[in-house]
């Protein structure tokens, strides 16, 4: 007997990341933190091996009055929140486009809302083959089919694969919904070049002559780009989109403010057709109202304050951690290159990923790592190493240890 609706998926949620984190914690209890290398956690950790909560963010959060935190924050987000998000995210790089902003609970809320907005049940959404595992869950919760594109051709973005997947779908379904996680892709740390974005937009414009195109650009890690002064430059290309293309940015305060538990984020909708944007906004607002209802008011207030009143201190504090992650990833990559441990082309961000084509083999490697107290996360065609949470001391020598263990796995 089951009481759930027939189409519901009753298989218990298995989250590879959360379950491996739990195993690592148990191992630390048994063997001590000196012995264990926990490269699973996708949050920013300091060199002291504890979670970073930016002082420039949380000091003020504690000072926000209880009544502000307790109040409803309006369904689509307060006007000042929406304006601050738009200015912060786009830096007015694509200001000739019409736009709208809707608050969400984290980047997940935004992505979830967007996955439910454009396609009918049974239709197909497109996302990267190597990517955030939650795309698959969100698609299936919305009864969507999925087609994936290969992320890399040699060491660069695989536009040919994107073309192939879209061409195959074009004749079967009216709308094309295309998900890209850029910059600082999870889990490889790849970011498209400006030229790659230009070519992508050009291609999507061509597609839009026959099919409306919706781009969902998941920018969860954008504020951890190594080159912050240019991290939004690629958005200038958005100004070239045709009428029949819509761009939706999913923004997450979880990473930007190190506030994963505070559940704040937003969707920024960009396009040429004001009425089309109004329609998407209306649908998104109803999605919000019928699921989380309101975004946390205290979180919105705090974002507004940090960006408008405390920006310099915040940027300075964040920069120290961007530099730290660069040191960690540089060290790991240098050593990986030296010992022949193959990696996907990392540029920036929270994660580096070992290139292992055979995912079943990757699972065996992960188990072998665990026996040597090294905890990682298996992704499609690879193993993710979270340099965001791995102190430099733990990065040292890790690549050669991994390579040696891999040599023992058949
Ligand atoms: C690629 C990617 N997108 C979106 C998110 C959403 O994060 P949140 O819902 O905490 O904002 C995450 C979180 O890990 C992520 O890795």
215 and 262 both lie in a single domain: yes
* pLDDT band at residue 19 using 50, 70 and 90 as cut-offs: confident
What pLDDT score was predicted for residue 48? 94
258 and 362 both lie in a single domain: no
Residues 67, 226: contact at Cβ < 8 Å? no
What pLDDT score was predicted for residue 147? 98
How far apart are alpha carbons 366 and 359 in whole angstroms?
Answer: 10
What pLDDT score was predicted for residue 349? 96
Task: Indicate the number of domains in the chain.
Answer: 2
What pLDDT score was predicted for residue 410? 85
Q: Last residue of some domain: 309, 327, 354?
A: 309
> Tell me, what CATH number does 23's domain have?
3.90.1150.10
The contacts of residue 290 (CB under 8 Å, 6+ apart) are none
DSSP 397: T
For the segment 289-308, the average pLDDT, to the nearest whole number, is: 96
* pLDDT band at residue 137 using 50, 70 and 90 as cut-offs: very high
For the Cβ of 135 lying below 6 angstroms from any atom of ligand 1, the answer is: no
For the segment 285-308, the average pLDDT, to the nearest whole number, is: 96
184 and 295 both lie in a single domain: yes
For the segment 320-348, the average pLDDT, to the nearest whole number, is: 97
Its pTM stands at 0.96
pLDDT at 294 over 90: yes
The C-alpha angle 190, 24, 28, rounded to 5 degrees, equals 130
Closest-CA residue to 124 (of 132, 135, 113, 134):
135
261 and 343 both lie in a single domain: no
* pLDDT band at residue 207 using 50, 70 and 90 as cut-offs: very high
The C-alpha angle 217, 218, 223, rounded to 5 degrees, equals 115
Q: How far is the CA of 261 from the centre of ligand 1 (A)?
A: 12
Q: Which residue, judged by its Cα, is nearest atom 12 of ligand 1?
A: 220
283 and 326 both lie in a single domain: no
Characterize 42-66 residue by residue with b for buried, 16 or more Cβ atoms within 10 angstroms of its Cβ, and e for exposed. bbbbeeeeeebbbebbbebbeeeee
pLDDT digits (tens, 9 = 90+) for 59-109: 999 999 999 999 998 899 999 999 999 999 999 999 999 999 999 999 999
**Closest ligand 1 atom to the C-alpha of 260?**
10
Cα separations (Å) of 61 from 64, 170, 304, 347, 407?
5, 48, 11, 32, 49
Q: How far is the CA of 267 from the centre of ligand 1 (A)?
A: 13
Residues 351, 384: contact at Cβ < 8 Å? yes
Over 52-114, what HEC string results?
CCCHHHHHHHHHCCHHHHHCCCCCCCCHHHHHHHHHHHHCCCCCCCEEEEEEECHHHHHHHHH
What pLDDT score was predicted for residue 315? 98
The contacts of residue 349 (CB under 8 Å, 6+ apart) are 183, 184, 185, 186, 189, 191, 221, 224, 225, 325
For the Cβ of 351 lying below 6 angstroms from any atom of ligand 1, the answer is: no
For the segment 294-320, the average pLDDT, to the nearest whole number, is: 97
What pLDDT score was predicted for residue 73? 85
Q: Last residue of some domain: 292, 309, 326?
A: 309
pLDDT at 378 over 90: yes
Q: Last residue of some domain: 309, 332, 357?
A: 309
Beta strands in 129-244 (DSSP E): 145-149, 152-153, 156-157, 176-181, 213-218
Q: How far is the CA of 185 from the centre of ligand 1 (A)?
A: 11
What pLDDT score was predicted for residue 27? 95
What pLDDT score was predicted for residue 330? 98
Q: Within 13 Å, how many C-alpha atoms sit on residue 376's CB side?
A: 28
How far apart are alpha carbons 56 and 51 in whole angstroms?
Answer: 15
Cα separations (Å) of 387 from 209, 333, 348, 378?
42, 11, 10, 15
The C-alpha angle 40, 41, 47, rounded to 5 degrees, equals 110
The enclosing H or E element of 361 equals helix 359-371
For the segment 274-284, the average pLDDT, to the nearest whole number, is: 97
Mean pLDDT (the chain, rounded): 96
pLDDT at 390 over 90: yes
What pLDDT score was predicted for residue 15? 81
Cis omega (within 30 of 0) for bond into 107: no
Residues 190, 130: contact at Cβ < 8 Å? no
What pLDDT score was predicted for residue 6? 87
Residue 61 lies in a domain: no
What pLDDT score was predicted for residue 12? 87
What pLDDT score was predicted for residue 175? 98
Residue 188 lies in a domain: yes
Note down the domain range covering 37. 16-54+313-408
43 and 113 both lie in a single domain: no
Residue 322 lies in a domain: yes
Residue 1 lies in a domain: no
pLDDT at 16 over 90: no
For the Cβ of 350 lying below 6 angstroms from any atom of ligand 1, the answer is: no
Question: Which segment of 27-36, 181-190, 308-317 scores lowest on mean pLDDT?
Answer: 27-36
pLDDT at 1 over 90: no
44 and 121 both lie in a single domain: no
**% of the chain surpassing 90 pLDDT:** 94
Residue 35 lies in a domain: yes
For the segment 126-133, the average pLDDT, to the nearest whole number, is: 96
Q: How far is the CA of 9 from the centre of ligand 1 (A)?
A: 22
For the segment 20-41, the average pLDDT, to the nearest whole number, is: 93
Q: At what angle do helices 297-309 and 55-63 cross, to 10 degrees?
A: 130
The enclosing H or E element of 270 equals strand 265-271
What pLDDT score was predicted for residue 20? 92
> Tell me, what CATH number does 300's domain have?
3.40.640.10
């Amino acid at each position: 007997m089951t009481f759930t609706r027939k189409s519901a998926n009753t298989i218990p949620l298995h989250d590879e990341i959360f379950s491996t984190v739990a195993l690592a914690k148990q191992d630390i209890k048994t063997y001590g933190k000196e012995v264990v290398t926990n490269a699973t956690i996708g949050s920013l950790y300091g060199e002291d091996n504890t979670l970073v909560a930016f002082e420039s963010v949380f000091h003020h959060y504690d000072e926000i009055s209880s009544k502000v935190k307790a109040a409803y924050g309006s369904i689509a987000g307060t006007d000042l929140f929406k304006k601050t998000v738009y200015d912060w995210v786009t830096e007015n790089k694509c200001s000739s486009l019409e736009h709208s902003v809707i608050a969400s609970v984290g980047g997940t809320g935004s992505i979830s809302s967007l996955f439910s907005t454009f396609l009918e049940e049974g239709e197909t959404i497109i996302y990267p083959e190597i990517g955030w595992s939650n795309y698959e869950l969100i698609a299936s919760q919305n009864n969507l089919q999925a087609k994936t594109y290969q992320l890399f051709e040699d060491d660069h973005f695989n536009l040919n694969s994107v073309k192939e997947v879209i061409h195959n779908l074009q004749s079967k379904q009216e709308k094309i919904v295309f998900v890209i996680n850029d910059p600082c892709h999870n889990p490889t740390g790849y970011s498209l070049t400006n030229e790659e974005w230009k070519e992508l937009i050009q291609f999507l414009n061509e597609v839009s002559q026959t099919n409306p195109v919706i781009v969902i650009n998941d920018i969860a890690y954008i504020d951890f780009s190594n080159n912050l002064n240019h991290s939004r430059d690629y958005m200038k290309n958005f100004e070239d989109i045709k009428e029949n293309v819509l761009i939706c940015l999913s923004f997450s305060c979880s990473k930007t403010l190190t506030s994963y538990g505070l559940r704040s984020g937003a969707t920024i909708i960009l396009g040429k057709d004001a009425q089309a944007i109004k329609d998407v906004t209306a649908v998104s607002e109803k999605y919000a109202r019928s699921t989380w209802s309101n975004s946390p008011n205290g979180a919105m207030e705090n974002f507004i304050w940090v960006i408008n009143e405390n920006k310099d201190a915040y940027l300075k504090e964040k920069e120290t951690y961007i530099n730290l992650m660069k040191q960690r990833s540089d060290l790991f990559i240098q050593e990986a290159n030296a010992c022949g441990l193959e990696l996907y082309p990392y540029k920036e961000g929270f994660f580096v990923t070992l290139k292992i084509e055979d995912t079943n083999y990757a699972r065996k490697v992960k188990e072998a790592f665990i026996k040597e107290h090294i905890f990682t996360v298996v992704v499609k065609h690879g193993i993710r190493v979270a340099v965001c949470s791995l102190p430099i001391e733990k990065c040292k020598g890790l690549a050669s240890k991994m390579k040696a263990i891999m040599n023992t796995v058949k």
